[in-house]
Amino acid sequence: MRQSGGDPDPDPTSDAAGNVATPVITAYLAAEGFEDELRTELVRAGVGAAMRPAHGRLFVTDAPAVDAAWSLDTWFDAVELPVASIADAARRLRAVQRNWVGYHPLHRGRAALIAERLPSVSGRVLALGEPAPTAPLGSWTLLEPGLVLAAARCSSPFPNGEPALAELRHGPPSRAYRKLWEALLRLGRRPGPGERCVDLGASPGGWTWLLSELGADVLAVDRAPLDPSVAARPGVRWQGGSAFGLDPATVLREGPLDWVCSDIACYPDRLAGLLERWLDAAPEATFIATVKFQGPTDHAACDRFRALPGATLVHLAHNRHELTVLVDRGPTGRADPGRADGYRTDRDRPAPFSR
């Protein structure tokens, strides 16, 4: 880039010693209808100046990754690939890895022709209890007819962050169980026989049903009763009353808790206080809770949830105007939130694209 009437600017991709650095591009995919939430979150995270014009629901930034709860799928270390043809685009993607999924708000016809030359990747419908796929899944899009944006590593193992879950038509009293199912896929583990769970604000029992179906023992707490079919399940016990009035100590007298879950409808600050109390009382438990917004998105409240020890805040594909907070203590009882760039170590990064 040249200054008007002057000498060239220093290379912005080189350091003081002249070593060339690869520009960092990160892209964030919003769920449909929640683009404003993601845009605001990225600005508050300090990358507003690095944001390009939105590419449909995809927000492309020239900056390292930040924690973005409203991103369904974050593309790490993305690169721009000028391509000479449809065949050239497919060749360059295949040279990096096998599995790719596209997001195409523009140039759809050309993108479809490229996709035909790539191995087929389908979002296979998962049965309850099946783990999330582990094969690397990259994402790509056409910014222009001759310019591909591609990331070999993304935050979600599912196409565009949307898992395909089997429809369970018999058993759960509501579809709310799908949020919990997706959260468990995100964690990579689930409750099982012999584990104790408390479901705060459980009625009519969608989450309690799922926890029970996986084999766990569940204490369901709500003023309203459970659906009779859920209440009658083995290992399920309903306790009438407010989840906010329940003293965790009374539950823990019966033994340690493995999971604390909540899909309760309340203001975010009230939920934060509830979780803080239970986190102190049950430091070994794993927490899954829905943060529901009763009006405009309260981004300040989101910061309070992020500040919980070991917490991760995510917008699941099955969330509406709500987020899910996860505190994963794992089998060791210690939280492991990972890094904002999606890698555990630098060695986890994929091989670079050929230039």
Q: How far is CA 292 from the centre of its chain?
A: 16
Instruction: Please report, rounded to a whole number, the percentage of residues in the chain having pLDDT higher than 90.
Output: 83
Q: Could you tell me which residue, 33 or 24, shows the higher pLDDT?
A: 33
Q: Which amino acid is at 170?
A: H
Task: Say what the pLDDT of residue 13 is.
Answer: 36
259, β-bridge pairs: 197, 286
Task: Say what the pLDDT of residue 22 is.
Answer: 55
Task: Say what the pLDDT of residue 355 is.
Answer: 42
Q: For 133-136, which contacts have Cβ atoms below 8 Å and span 24 or more sequence positions? A: 133/157, 133/158, 135/98, 135/99, 136/97, 136/99, 136/350
Tokens of 333: 């009882």
DSSP state of 292: E
Do β-strands 100-102 and 259-262 pair in parallel, antiparallel, or remain unpaired?
A: unpaired
**Residue that has been written with the tokens 């987020």 in this structure:** 323
Residue 337 predicted with pLDDT over 50: no
Identify whether the C-beta of residue 353 lies closer than 8 Å to the C-beta of residue 337. no
Maximum pairwise Cα distance, the chain: 81
Instruction: Identify the band that residue 123 occupies on the pLDDT scale cut at 50, 70 and 90.
Output: confident
Instruction: Identify the band that residue 84 occupies on the pLDDT scale cut at 50, 70 and 90.
Output: very high
| Exposure string over 98-113, b if 16+ CB within 10 A, otherwise e | ebbbbbbeebeebbee
Q: How far apart are CA 297 and CA 295, in angstroms?
A: 6
- What domains can you pick out in the chain, each with its CATH number? 25-162 (3.30.2130), 177-327 (3.40.50.150)
Instruction: Identify the band that residue 110 occupies on the pLDDT scale cut at 50, 70 and 90.
Output: very high
**Residue that has been written with the tokens 């065949």 in this structure:** 87
Tokens of 98: 């096998």
Q: How far apart are CA 235 and CA 107, in angstroms?
A: 53
Q: How far apart are CA 299 and CA 64, in angstroms?
A: 21
Identify whether the C-beta of residue 311 lies closer than 8 Å to the C-beta of residue 305. yes
Residue 50 predicted with pLDDT over 50: yes
Identify whether the C-beta of residue 32 lies closer than 8 Å to the C-beta of residue 57. yes
Task: Say what the pLDDT of residue 169 is.
Answer: 85
Report which of 224, 133, 99 is spatially closest to residue 173, judged by C-alpha positions. 224
Give alpha helix (H) positions in 174-298.
Answer: 177-187, 206-213, 228-231, 248-252, 268-281
289, β-bridge pairs: 262, 325
Report which of 98, 76, 90 is spatially closest to residue 156, judged by C-alpha positions. 76
Task: Say what the pLDDT of residue 1 is.
Answer: 33
Mean of all residue pLDDT scores within the chain: 89
Task: Say what the pLDDT of residue 23 is.
Answer: 67
Q: How far is CA 272 from the centre of its chain?
A: 19
**Residue that has been written with the tokens 């996709």 in this structure:** 115
Cβ-in-10-Å burial (0-12, 13-18, 19+) of 247 comes to exposed
Question: pTM of this prediction?
Answer: 0.87
Tokens of 234: 């083995």
pLDDT, one tens digit per residue, over 193-249 is 999 999 999 999 999 999 999 999 999 999 999 999 999 999 999 999 999 999 999
Task: Say what the pLDDT of residue 170 is.
Answer: 87
pLDDT, one tens digit per residue, over 267-317 is 999 999 999 999 999 999 999 999 999 889 999 999 999 999 999 999 999
pLDDT, one tens digit per residue, over 157-191 is 999 999 999 999 888 999 999 999 999 999 999 99
Report which of 288, 285, 294, 293 is spatially closest to residue 314, judged by C-alpha positions. 288
Q: Could you tell me which residue, 316 or 345, shows the higher pLDDT?
A: 316
Mean predicted confidence (pLDDT) in 41-63? 97
